[in-house]
Amino acid sequence: MTAILDIVEWCRQERQRAAKQYSALETGRCKIAEDKGHGWVDQTSEHMAKLKLHLTALDELLQAYEAEHAGSERTEIFISESVVVSAREG
């Protein structure tokens, strides 16, 4: 069960990281460009589309996990001020 909880926690962290990156691209704080041999080409919109698919996949995984464990009691384990591991027992 611990391995599953580790994967779920990774999904949550990865979703948060991807959402921050998407937000930075959406607001124009960051841009993605690629040198295709004839100068730099803006790849921001393509990267945003890939991030959107990544976020959707992570959301679906997390929603499936939460739906399967909806009746279980939630347990939080305090590790430090900045890290709290949260899981459902069942």
Question: 49: Cβ–Cβ under 8 A, 6 or more apart, which residues?
Answer: none
What distance in Å separates the CA atoms of residue 33 and residue 28, rounded to the nearest whole number? 13
pLDDT on residue 79: 45
What are the pLDDT digits (tens) for 1-31? Answer: 688 889 999 999 999 999 999 999 999 999 9
User: Cα 59 from chain centroid?
Assistant: 8
Residue 85 has pLDDT above 60, yes or no: no
Q: Which helix (H) or strand (E) holds 45?
A: helix 44-68
What are the pLDDT digits (tens) for 26-70? Answer: 999 999 999 988 899 999 999 999 999 999 999 999 999 988 887
Q: How many domains does the chain have?
A: 1
Which residue would you say has higher pLDDT here, 80 or 73? 73
pLDDT on residue 71: 64
What distance in Å separates the CA atoms of residue 52 and residue 22, rounded to the nearest whole number? 8
| Domain range for 71 | 2-89
